[in-house]
Amino acid sequence: MRIVFLLLISSLFVTHAQTSDVLIKDLIAKNLSETIELRHWFHQNAELSNREFKTSERIAKELKKIGLNPITGIAKTGVVAILNEGKPGPVVALRADIDGLPVKERADLPWASKMTGVYNGEKVPVMHACGHDTHTAILLATAKVLYNIKDQIPGQVKFIFQPAEEGPPPGEEGGAELMVKEGVLTNPDVDAIFGLHISSKSTAGQVLLKPGSIMAAVDEFRIDLTGVQTHGSTPWTGIDPIVTASQMINSIQTIVSRSMPLTTAAAVVTIGSIHGGVRSNIIPEKLYMLGTIRTLDNSMRATVLKRLDKIVQNVAAANNVIADVTFMNSYPVTYNDPELYEKMLPTLKRVCGADNVNYMDAITGAEDFSFFQKEVPGVYFFIGGSSEGMDLDMVAPHHTPDFYVDDSALETGVISMTSLTIDYFTKGL
């Protein structure tokens, strides 16, 4: 009898899901042209972290058009709206990041970005070189679909439009960490959160994910070196921070190659910026370097941080240079809750096609979605962003001037986020 009952419940769920899928797909198709237009507008009006003023204004305007009451000014420029029809049940949060990058767009598009902003005190071009414009448009479209079927939602949905995923400007707070600090996951308390990221290196229609660690922790650092300035023709009369820096950079690379158990997980230490000196014949007094650490294992992360400081201080001492190490922005590992992952994986396979949903290896890119996942169970996944037939080896990577995402990717994002939400409620998780 129990088996018959369970089979009946399973059959009812499948039937309901199939009916719901048809309705959702119809609504997505009906609003697809509007979703694409919104994406183009956000792309054309890209703004830097904590400066997404026009972006947040447009998000709030669109949420009001849907019928929701947005709350603005969260974590400086963030926007949140809640779908609440008064029915008891869980609270699901959906997140999109909204900021652009200091990159000049080279793509020949009628909706290419010509925006500028100020980064590190300099005027810079700004573009959505990581696809956050698509994330924003997808979440707005998801909000519209869910509002249209709100009678089917036994609970609440919290739509989170998050600024500064790429990191706030120096000296400022921002991003997911600040949103959590300001209580975005409370009042009402969130039970689960879902987020996605576009991938130019995958074909539109594809979904990629894995349980556990999916993206690396990141720790940014600055190394300041102080020597003694002198003429370049007589280096023995000074103390050279440039030579010291070169020794440091080479030694820092041994942290990964000689101190990390790389069969456990990947790790990366990169010096991406070095500043020192103004003339060929002057050895400067000061120099600074900027770098990033990426780890997928917390124990390995602790080892890297410890080894970095030790190497810097010892190399500096050997050269009579004064060294200071400052750790700046840091994100935890982006971690997909294994139980939630297993429960929601069938949803993605059903609505996107089982052949289109694939396991991926963890990557050393980082995401501050991890701050949400530290507080509540969450699943983060990738969707393909390149059109069918593209040579993915030739596609421009993220954070580059030629980065491009095809509009055909949007539909997969909306169906995924909408269906994950509906199924979470329906399954009674």
DSSP assignment, residue 86?
S
- The helix, strand and coil proportions of the chain, stated in percent and rounded to the nearest 5, come to 40, 25, 35
Residue 119 neighbours by CB distance under 10 Å: 16
Which member of 165, 166, 297, 407 is catalytic?
165
DSSP assignment, residue 168?
P
| Location of structure tokens 């939400």 | 421
Q: In this structure, which amino acid lies at residue 192?
A: A
Residue 424 neighbours by CB distance under 10 Å: 24
Q: In this structure, which amino acid lies at residue 361?
A: D
- Per the annotation, the verdict on 99 as an active-site residue is yes
Q: Which residues are CB-contacts of 91 (< 8 A; sequence separation ≥ 6)? A: 155, 156, 157, 158, 188, 189, 190, 191
- Per the annotation, the verdict on 173 as an active-site residue is no
Which member of 99, 105, 411, 423 is catalytic?
99
How far, in Å, are 251, 253, 274, 308 from residue 270 at the CA level? 12, 8, 11, 11
Question: Which phi and psi angles does 103 have, rounded to 5°?
Answer: -135, 140
Residue 192, burial from CB neighbour count under 10 angstroms (0-12, 13-18, 19+): buried
Pairing, β 322-331 against β 217-226: antiparallel
Q: Which is nearest to 56 in space by CA: 112, 115, 96? A: 96
Q: Are 401 and 253 in contact (CB under 8 A)?
A: no
Q: Tell me the chain's radius of gyration from C-alpha atoms.
A: 24
Q: Are 134 and 385 in contact (CB under 8 A)?
A: yes
Alpha-carbon gap, residue 346 to 338, rounded angstroms: 14
Q: In this structure, which amino acid lies at residue 301?
A: R
SS3 13: helix
Pairing, β 192-203 against β 334-336: unpaired
List, by residue number, the catalytic residues.
99, 165
